[in-house]
Amino acid sequence: MDASMPHRLELIGITKRFPGVLANDNVSFSVKPGEIHALLGENGAGKSTLVKMIYGIMQPDAGEIVWDGQRTVVANPKAARALGIGMVFQHFSLFEALTVLENIALGMDAKIPARELEARIRAVMTQYGLLLDPHRTVATLSVGERQRIEIVRALLLDPKLLIMDEPTSVLTPQEVEQLFDVLRKLAAGGCSILYISHKLHEIKALCDTATILRGGKLVDTCDPKAETSRSMAEKMIGAGLKDIVRAPGRTMGLPKLVVSRLSTKKSGHFDVPVDSVSFVVKAGEIFGIAGVAGNGQNALLDALSGEILGEDKDAITIDGFPLGLLDTTGRRRHGLCAVPEERNGHAAVGDFTLSDNSILTARNRLGMVVLGLINSGAAKTYTGKVITDFAVKALGPSSTAGSLSGGNLQKYIMGREILQRPTVLVVSQPTWGVDAGAAAAIHQALVDLAAEGSAIVVISQDLDELLALCDTLAVINAGQLSDAQKVGEISVEEIGLLMGGVHGTSEARDAIPA
């Protein structure tokens, strides 16, 4: 052990085995006090397993966790918090109907009177410039604000190590900057940060050290500022990174998908409807829709896919044919396929085999149904083709969808839709939580589909993805879509402002620290 510099956290030979998988194989690295340490890796590389062991959710099969120079067993998350380890999860655990204060109080290990807790919350918020009204109901908050609750909750424990799991996937560029300011302040105060992400430029901007995992093994510990994004990505996937290849001299055809004044009714208590959205996508064009989560993206996807039935037949047309009144099955028959953002439970059924999941959307387009009976052989063959063509890591067509990792399931879902050769493909968050290698494969498949003359709509919160992939871009905010702009003619700052709300919503005001 290095005696000169006491480590905050040191992992020595951590190994964790699951049935059939070695999730972590002899992983060793250390985090110094005040260091912002990135943990990088593809999906299934073992990042989550590793931090779950640090936070006490799981126990390692072998190896040691050394905390402030002492060998430690972190029995459970409560013990982790007692040691001074805080964690902000990718998916928040908040009650929408309760206030910020009530949510924080519920998550505390110790019972603290509400008045005292509020004073402490306000102190932490002032110290780190985290703006939030403790008495607002969570349902009225943006995703960025909800994340602040989780951060405040972790900071109240005065942590010595804060684990952040993919924290920026739901934030606007401006919100990301604010988050980084908070994290830098924290680090300057001596708190170590373990930052899990796959966004390489963020890691370069924020982190002092990066530990790269691949297939459960530690590949490299490096200085991200001395590396290029590309070199880190290549270490992560263990091979050369492929650029998106576009056919030269590509021309766009005639308008394929025409959406005019598409609106939805407000259905749930907390959802944002679509308000008179119009846009045109030409054959061969990839049309991007940017926006912060919760601004009507879900309603837009459902209205396009047919899950929300329309009332105006001409609100959606393909090659002039009106689809507005058709349901999902009818729209698929006419060439419109869609991929929603939520993979498990929406785009796929976790308990079903992949083969049965293919029947869900491909049964009519690919003739898997004869006289009301399912031709399971055809479904199996098609699923096998999706698995091969999209390099899905699965045992075969009879694996359940729920047994696949997020990235692999996404590859399967994208493959299932793309191989149906749709005339129009609408996808939401095509690469959310998907590793760089898989994301590149999905992007390439979308570009190739467009090159064949399909019109593609990509709804995403990942601006980098949209800028790399799309020909045209529009921004959705509070259910309204901005005018479409050519990618290359609009700056990231302009898009950021549109995402924050050109209408001067509360989100925009809150986004700028007073």
Partner 1 sequence: MQFRLEKRAEPSRFMLYATPVGAVILTMIVGAIIFSLIGYDGIGAVREVFLTPLTNAYKWQDLGIKAAPLIIIGTGLSIAYRANVWNIGAEGQYVVGALAGTWVALATYTMSGPWILPLMILAGVVGGALYAAIPALLKTRLNVNEILTSLMLTYASIQLIYYLIRAQWKDPMGIGFPQTRRFAESAQLPTVIPHTIVHLGVPIAIVVALVAWFIMSRSVFGYRMRVVGAAPHAARYGGFSENKTIWLAMLVSGGLAGLAGVLEVAGPFQRMVPGFATGYGFTAIIVAFLGRLNPLGVIFAGIVLAITFVGGEVAQTTIKLPDAATGIFQAMVLFFLLAGDLLVRYRIRRVVTTPAGAA
CA distance 294 to 476: 10
416 binds partner 1 (CB under 8 A): no
Task: Quote the least distance from Cβ 93 to partner 1, whole Å.
Answer: 17
Q: Which of 39, 37, 32, 36 is nearest to 9 (CA)?
A: 32
Separation CA 5–CA 63 (nearest Å): 21
d(CA 346, CA 341) in angstroms, rounded, equals: 8
Cβ 310 to partner 1, closest distance in Å? 15
- 346-350 long-range contacts, CB within 8 A, separation 24+: 347/413, 348/401, 348/409, 348/412, 348/413, 349/401, 350/400, 350/401, 350/402
- Check residue 350 for interaction with partner 1 (CB under 8 A): yes
Give the x-and-dash track for 367-386 against partner 1 (CB under 8 A).
Answer: --x--xxx-x----------
Closest to partner 1 by CB, 90 or 344:
344
Concatenated DSSP letters for 465-505? HHHHH-SEEEEEETTEEPPPEETTSS-HHHHHHHHHHTT--
Stretch that binds partner 1, among 94-102, 223-231, 303-311, 314-322 (CB under 8 A): 303-311
Among 363, 380, 411, 443, binds partner 1 (CB under 8 A): 363
- The one among 74, 156, 162, 203 contacting partner 1 by CB under 8 A: 74
C-alpha 156/C-alpha 147 separation (Å) is 14
Only one of the segments 112-120, 137-145, 400-408, 457-465 lies at the binding site for partner 1 (rule: CB under 8 A); that segment is 400-408
Report residue 399 CA to chain centroid gap. Answer: 24
Burial of 320 by CB count in 10 Å (0-12 exposed, 13-18 middle, 19+ buried)?
Answer: exposed
Phi and psi at residue 212, in whole multiples of 5°? -110, 125
What does the alpha-carbon distance between residue 366 and residue 155 come to, in Å, rounded to a whole number?
53
62 interacts with partner 1 by CB under 8 A:
no
312 binds partner 1 (CB under 8 A): no
Closest to partner 1 by CB, 68 vs 271, is 68
Side-by-side strand order, sheet with 161-165:
85-88, 161-165, 192-196, 36-41, 209-214, 217-222
Query: Among 75, 108, 245, 492, which residue interacts with partner 1 (rule: CB under 8 A)?
Result: 75
By CB under 8 A, name the one of 83, 237, 424, 436 that touches partner 1: 83
Nearer to partner 1, 122 or 333 (CB): 333
161/470 with CB nearer partner 1? 161
In whole angstroms, the minimum distance from the beta carbon of 194 to partner 1 comes to: 17
Least gap, CB of 307 to partner 1 (angstroms): 5
CB atoms within 10 A of CB 511: 24
Count CB atoms within 10 A of the CB of residue 293: 17
Q: Is 352 in the site for partner 1 (CB under 8 A)?
A: yes
Instruction: Tell me the site size for partner 1, rule CB under 8 A.
Output: 49
Task: Report in angstroms how near the CB of residue 413 gets to partner 1 at its nearest.
Answer: 11
Q: Which one among 2, 5, 19, 483 touches partner 1, defined by CB under 8 A?
A: 19
Q: List residues bridging with 16 in a β-sheet.
A: 24
Single out the segment in contact with partner 1 by CB under 8 A; choices: 42-50, 91-99, 300-308, 462-470: 300-308
Q: How many other CB atoms sit within 10 Å of the CB of residue 392?
A: 24
The minimum distance between CB 69 and partner 1, in angstroms, equals 10
Q: How many helices (H) and strands (E) does the chain have?
A: 17, 23
CA angle 498, 499, 504 (to 5 degrees): 65
Could you tell me if 439 and 427 are in contact, meaning their C-beta atoms sit under 8 angstroms apart?
Answer: no
Interaction pattern, residues 316-345, with partner 1; x per rule: CB under 8 A: -----------xxx--x-----x-x-x--x
Using CB under 8 A, pick the residue from 61, 234, 275, 307 that binds partner 1: 307
Task: Determine if 260 is a binding residue for partner 1 (CB under 8 A).
Answer: no
Please identify, using beta-carbon distances, which residue of 190 and 320 lies nearer to partner 1: 190
Tokens linked to 137: 């109901």
Which position among 351, 377, 388, 396 is part of the footprint of partner 1 (CB under 8 A)? 351
According to the binding rule CB under 8 A, does residue 70 interact with partner 1?
yes
CB of 20 to partner 1, least distance (A): 8
Record the tokens describing residue 500, joined without a space: 């924050």
Residues that bind partner 1 (CB under 8 A): 18-19, 56, 59, 67-68, 70-76, 78-79, 82-84, 305-307, 327-329, 332, 338, 340, 342, 345-352, 356, 359-361, 363, 369, 372-374, 376, 400, 402-403
